[in-house]
Amino acid sequence: MSTSTEMRYVNAVTRALHDSMEQDPAVVVMGEDVAHAGGSFKATRGLLDAFGAARVIDTPISESSITSAAVGMALTGLKPVVEIMFMDFITLSMDALVNQAAKARYMFGGQGSVSMVLRTPHGGGLSAGPQHSQCLEAWLAHVPGLKVVCPSTPQDAYSLLRASIADPDPVMFIEHKGMYASKGAVDTSLTARLGEARIARPGRDVTLVTYGATVPVCLKAADQLAKEGVDVEVVDLRSLQPWDKATVLESLSRTHRAVVVHEAVQAFGAGAEIVATIADEGFDELDAPVLRVAAPFMPAPFASSLEKGYVVTVERVIEAVRKTLA
């Protein structure tokens, strides 16, 4: 019997870690301040008490080597879940991710898999400034061998993290720090598959393709547009690598108009790949150019007044939808 509990996004992450650790003794959690402090955003709170210091490991501030160590652990029979405190810090982990984790299975001719998860929060809205606000997921989605997941609800934070930990390949699990406090129903018996999108809101007139923190922004825009008689469909991608091309193209075949929305910088972002795929494979379905709503080409700002203009707003999404209908 399925039971649903209201919980915060951050608690859904913790619950998923807890349940995976309980189910599989090979799962270990490691990162800076994840054990005694329970994580910078408290996503690992209580795990040390539940599973002990051998499985919940406080590491020094050595992002490069702890990520590489996770690769070595995975190749020696463990399933490490590494936390990198802010996504901006993965710059220091890039050799481990790009040259080691992503390529080991391929380079070794399929002898084994690097079954590891790197959890990290991206995103702005907290005046955290240029080095604590970035959305760098497109970098990772560009690397063959990595999987990239961006949950937008507490339910997905739970179900997709369980699926990511169970996955045999290296999964980059990207949480949004601005969403940690958001609440929603979580049914721990529900499973999810990486690479499967979700129709967050069905509609007939325009398809909004999005993921992560811009999902609720798009849903709000859809609600407002509904008042004007515009029926918007919102597709939450949930994973960027693999991404659910079929669901996007199927939605487009009904609406014939699309806008791609993400918080990351627009230029060379994930949206560019989605728009290019629509142009390649969905061209005949299009009644209007596909638009993008994303961040301008500049570092994430610090001052609140600047950040307001930087992040994707409901108004900007509505404006783009109207433009595709004009």
Partner 1 sequence: MSARKNRGTAAPQHLQALYKTMSLIRHVETALTRLFANSEVPGFIHLSIGQEAVAAGIASALQPQDSLATTHRGHGHVLARGMDVSGFMKEIMGREGGLCKGRGGSMHVADLSLGILGANGIVGAGIPIALGSAMAHQARKTGGVAVAFFGDGAMAEGVLHETLNMAALWKCPLLLVCENNGWSEFSPTSRQFAAKLEKLAAAFDVGYAKVDGNDVLAVADAAEGATARLRAGRGPFVLECMTTRVRGHFEGDAQKYRDTGELESVHEHDPLTAARGQLQAMGVDTTGMDQAIAAQVDAAVDAARADVLPVLEHAIQDVYTQTAQETGA
Q: How far is the CB of 59 from partner 1 (least distance, A)?
A: 7
Helices (H) and strands (E) in the chain — how many of each? 12, 14
Beta-bridged to residue 262, according to DSSP, are none
Instruction: Give the footprint of partner 1 on residues 189-228 (CB under 8 A).
Output: 195
Contacts of 305 (CB under 8 A, 6+ apart): none
Q: Does 165 bind partner 1 (CB under 8 A)?
A: no
Instruction: Give the footprint of partner 1 on residues 272-311 (CB under 8 A).
Output: none
Instruction: Give the footprint of partner 1 on residues 242-271 (CB under 8 A).
Output: 242-245
Reply yes or no on whether 132 is catalytic.
Answer: yes
Reply yes or no on whether 256 is catalytic.
Answer: no
Figure out which of the listed residues 4, 22, 24, 112 binds partner 1, where binding follows CB under 8 A.
112
Q: What is the dihedral of CA 142, 148, 151, 155, to 10 degrees?
A: 160
Q: How far is the CB of 141 from partner 1 (least distance, A)?
A: 11
C-alpha 248/C-alpha 270 separation (Å) is 14
**Considering 63, 83, 233, 273, which one is annotated as catalytic?**
63
Instruction: Give the footprint of partner 1 on residues 31-90 (CB under 8 A).
Output: 54-55, 59-60, 62, 64-66, 68-78, 80
Residue 217 identity (one-letter amino acid): V
Please list, residue by residue across 76-91, b when 16 or more beta carbons sit within 10 angstroms of its beta carbon and e when fewer do: eebbbbbbbbbbbbbe
How many residues contact partner 1, by CB under 8 A?
A: 48
- The H or E element that residue 212 is part of is none
Q: Does 107 bind partner 1 (CB under 8 A)?
A: yes
> What does each C-alpha distance from 151 to 94, 122, 155, 211, 218 come to in angstroms?
22, 11, 8, 7, 15
Q: Does 105 bind partner 1 (CB under 8 A)?
A: yes
Q: Contact residues for partner 1 (CB under 8 A)?
A: 28, 54-55, 59-60, 62, 64-66, 68-78, 80, 95-96, 99-100, 103-113, 144-145, 147, 167-169, 195, 241-245
Active site residues: 63, 132
